[in-house]
Each structure stands twice: as C-alpha cells, then as structure tokens.
Amino acid sequence: MSVSRFPEGFLWGGATAANQVEGAYNKDGKGLSIFDMVTFVPKEKRGNMAMEVRSEEELNARLNGEMGDNFPKRRGVDFYHRYKEDIALFAEMGFKTYRLSISWPRIFPNGDELEPNEAGLEFYDRVFDELAKYNIEPLVTISHYEMPLHLVQKYNGWEDRRLIEFFVRYAETLFSRYKDKVKYWLTFNEINISSISPYIGSGMLVDHLENREQAIYQALHHQFVASARAVKACHATIPDAKIGCMLARMEVYPETCHPDDVLAALEEDQKNLFYTDVQVRGKYPSYMKKYFKDNHIELKMEPGDEEIIANYPVDFLSFSYYMSMVASGSSDKKKEKGNFFSGVKNPYLEASDWGWQIDPKGMRITMKKMYDRYQVPLFVVENGLGAYDEVEPDGSINDDYRIDYLRAHIDEMGKAIEEGVEVMGYTSWGCIDLISASTSEMSKRYGFIYVDQDDYGNGTLERKKKKSFDWYKKVIATNGADLS
C-alpha cells in the first residue's frame, strides 16, 4: 500500500447541520428557527432552490398553515432521538471528527432572552458525551441557518445591530458550557449566503428593505463584528480551542483567455473572497471599499468595530466546495444554476442531477489559491454529491457515483497537501442522508448512511449502510492512502 499523503492526526469525518437532521422542532423548549418556516416545493414548481421568505405577510401565511404543512426541516431525520445509533455508525466508519451545528433556538428559543434553555444545553451535552465515547472530536458550527424566528419578527434579523449582543451571548454560553468537550468551532456557516438569500443568511425579509444591497452589507458587517467577538471569547474561555470562519467557496474560471473574461473571473473571485479577506486578514479590502462607493453603500460602523475585526481574525479557514464556476466578460451569457450561485456553463465538466458542475481539480486549484493568499490552515468542511439513490431488491444501495465523486476530490486534496497546503481535515457533507438546504428535498441524498424517508415524511427512518460506507471506512483506516 502506498504511503499516505495526509498528515498524522488528519481529521476525517462527516458534516451535518441541526436544522437538516435533528427534527424535534418544538421539543424541550426549542423555539422556531428560520428554516422551520420553509416548505417543500416539488421540483416542477420551484426551479433549483426554494428557501427564501420575503415578507411579513408571507411569514404569517406560513405560520398559519396557509402555505401547506410539509415543513421537512421540522422533522429532519430524527437525529434528536437517534443520535446514539447514528454516532455508532459514524464511529464504525472510523470518524475522527463529526461536524454538527447547534440549533440557536434550542439554546435561546427567542434569541434575545438573558437565560439559556437548560434542556437544549443538555441535549448537546449528551451528544458530545456520546462522541467522546468513540474519541470523535466535535467540530461545532455556532450558526448554520438556524436563527431564532423571533429575531426576524422583532428585529428583521442582522439588519439590527443588537443581534451582535444576542449572538455573542449565545456563543459565550456555548464556550463556557462545553469548554471541556469542544475544541473546534466555526462561527457562521457559509457567511456569504446572504447575498443570495438574505432570509437564510441574515434573517431579513427583503420586501421590508428600502435598499437591499445596503442592508445585506450592513447585516454582514454586524456578523463580522459578532464573529470576531466570538473568536475573542472563545480564546479567552478555551485557550486550546481553534475557531474558524466558513465560506461557500466558488472558484471562478474565465470563459476564455480574452482579458475581459479574465477580469470578470477575477472580479467574481474577489466578490467571493471578500468575506475571508475580512475574517482572515482582519480588514475590509480596498476593492470592496471602491464597490461600496460606486454603489452608494455606506456602512454604519461604531468606534471599535474595525479594531475588533483586526485584532481577532480566525485561526483557520473552512469552506464548502461542491463545484466551480465560469465567468464571462460579456453579459448575455446563459447562466447555469448552481449551489445558490450561478455562472456560465463549463463545456469540459459534467453536472450532477441538480446541475452542479463537478470539478475535483477545481478543489485543488482553490485550495492552492486560498493557501497562497491567506497562509492559514484550511479545513474542507463540506464536499459531496447530492444524488438520487436506489435501494435494490436485496436492500443494497450501490452508490458508485458517490464513491467516484469523493475519491476524485480526496485525491486532489491529497495533491494539494503534497504541494504544501496545510489542511486540518475533511468532513464530507451529509454523512447521513438529510433534508436538503436549498430545496428541502429528502430525495437529494449525500450520505454513506441511507435514511428511509421520502420528500413527504413517509418512511420508517431506518438507517442502512450504502456501498460508500465501507469505502469511506477504508479511506479513513488507511489515512487516505487507499482510495480504491
């Protein structure tokens, strides 16, 4: 067997988010979250994503049940009651880490109260204790699209500066409660999502906004400050912890070598790396200041904001990577739908059933680029293939397409490591089948573990190992040396 390219102690594992797996949306004092309000919409009716709530009227219609009653994220896959069984399966695969998020409204049901909900805290104590039994390190996302709905209704989410205090109180509660159990933290999942979905990224109802872009960047500013304050609090409370940011990374290629296309790709790339420029380098980049000026965006900052961002950058950069994009200098190019973002079709790549253009080499390219730019450790915290799976009459699930996807990406990550990129770990997305973020489908599956449930919540919830389960087990057992 060949020698592993992956460092000793490399954190292999899988990733999920509370809103997509837990269910039990109103149990033990949990408040409603933003994603509890998103209904399932059949494919023919929705295009490629359906997660935005735009106005108070719409929100109320959802609360009153006027928009149907199929809210898949309320049921998840019942991890809340089945976490022991699920963690045992992760342990069987040899996971070194499990990335999960904490549901903010389980801890602070409304988001703005002073005291946390003890029953919510106890649930995660139980989960962390279960992980500890198997020596699985938790990697915790503090906010993964689970803002308490009350913060939308009362404050219009992150548009309001008071959210900083609420978030910091929540984060500090987690740090002091779990300081002996959790050493790896992430502040905001895919912090760049607000530009696509202000509701999911920032809890803002857009119809209420006078100037959408201004509000988005203001909300982001509040998140940057909140994130830096969480970094400060984390280091103060848990000196041996590491805390990172999380970006939905979009590597952008020029459509041709025409300088207009190259420039367009560079500018798209800057739009994506703006977030990590702030969170890793600790300041707003000059190209963004120019963009704000040209677009009449004026951020309201308070004294001390720039200092806190500068003084408390993240320890590492984590990201999701599913595909690459193409930019064209000419504006009339057909757009390809993707993971919340869009670009021009790449004729050299195949796409998934959801139109996401599969590009393993792009992952190496992007890792090299980000490491060159930031010189901090990277952590691949999401990567994977959403696909329809078939259960054969004998009960087996032969997901060779998923193995092919993961193998090719892990191989490219290995090459990036050989070329000197520092990588802490790899957690494939949706290690157990879960509810899709963008479409609320159950039938868009990512897991090594199949869950018997359909888009309407029918099924036994029984867990079954797919073919990829044993494959990933071998990958971990050989520290990535055997990808066959």
Residue from the set 74, 242, 444, 463 that interacts with ligand BGP by CB under 6 A: 444
Gap between the Cα atoms of 415 and 423, Å rounded: 11
Whether 306 is a known active-site residue: answer no
CB-CB contact of 66 with 9 (8 Å)? no
**Of 275, 247, 23, 244, nearest in space to 140 by CA:** 244
Binding track, positions 146-185, relative to ligand BGP; x by CB under 6 A:
----------------------------------------
Question: Considering beta carbons, is residue 202 or 438 the nearer one to ligand BGP?
Answer: 438
- Burial of 152 (C-beta count, 10 Å sphere; 0-12/13-18/19+): buried
| Binding flags for ligand BGP, 339-368, as an x/- string (CB under 6 A) | x-----------------------------
Interface with ligand BGP, residue 101, by CB under 6 A: no
Residues facing 337 on adjacent strands: 342
CA distances from 185 to 30, 98, 233, 246, 396 (A): 22, 12, 12, 10, 36
Q: Which of 33, 117, 189, 383 binds ligand BGP (CB under 6 A)?
A: 189
Strand duo 423-429 + 449-451: pairing:
unpaired
Residue 193 DSSP symbol: G
The 7-46 site mask, x for binding ligand BGP (CB under 6 A), equals ----------x-----------------------------
User: Among 149-157, 306-314, 397-405, 434-442, which window interacts with ligand BGP (CB under 6 A)?
Assistant: 434-442
Where helices occur in 102-185 by DSSP H, the ranges are: 104-107, 118-133, 149-155, 163-177
Given a contact cutoff of 8 angstroms between Cβ atoms, the answer to whether 321 and 363 are in contact is yes
Binding residue for ligand BGP (CB under 6 A) from 186, 196, 248, 344? 248
Which is nearer to ligand BGP, 269 or 382 (by Cβ)? 382
**Active-site residue among 190, 268, 412, 441?**
190
Q: Among residues 34 and 264, whose Cβ is nearest to ligand BGP?
A: 34
The reply to whether 383 sits near ligand BGP by the rule CB under 6 A is: no
What's the length of the chain?
A: 484
Based on CB atoms, which residue is closest to ligand BGP, 248 or 326?
Answer: 248
Contact 319, 427 (CB under 8 A): no
- Residue 436 interacting with ligand BGP (CB under 6 A): yes
Residue 320 in the binding site for ligand BGP (CB under 6 A): yes
Please identify, using beta-carbon distances, which residue of 150 and 444 lies nearer to ligand BGP.
Answer: 444
- Establish if 385 lies at the interface with ligand BGP (CB under 6 A): no
Work out which of 194, 438, 468, 479 binds ligand BGP, going by CB under 6 A: 438
Question: Which amino acid is it at 259?
Answer: P
Of 78 and 306, nearer to ligand BGP (C-beta) is 78
- Piece in contact with ligand BGP (CB under 6 A), picked from 53-61, 103-111, 365-373, 429-437: 429-437
Q: Which of 284, 272, 290, 291 minimizes the C-alpha distance to 370? A: 272
Choose, by CB under 6 A, the member of 288, 437, 449, 451 that binds ligand BGP: 437
Binding part of the chain for ligand BGP, among 310-318, 324-332, 433-441, 458-466 by CB under 6 A, reads: 433-441
Q: Which listed residue (159, 190, 255, 261) binds ligand BGP by CB under 6 A?
A: 190
Size of the site for ligand BGP (CB under 6 A): 14
The answer to whether 245 and 276 are in contact (CB under 8 A) is: yes
Catalytic residue among 255, 268, 382, 441: 382
Residue 476: C-alpha distances to residues 459, 481, 482 (Å): 31, 9, 9
* Binding span for ligand BGP by CB under 6 A among 173-181, 269-277, 420-428, 436-444: 436-444
DSSP 421-442: --EEEEEEETSB----TTT--S
Helix (H) or strand (E) holding 383: none
The CA distance from 299 to 297, in Å, is: 6
First to last CA, the chain: 11
Please confirm, yes or no, whether 130 is among the known catalytic residues: no
Residues that bind ligand BGP (CB under 6 A): 17, 189-190, 248, 320, 339, 382, 386, 429, 436-439, 444
Residue numbers annotated as active site:
190, 382
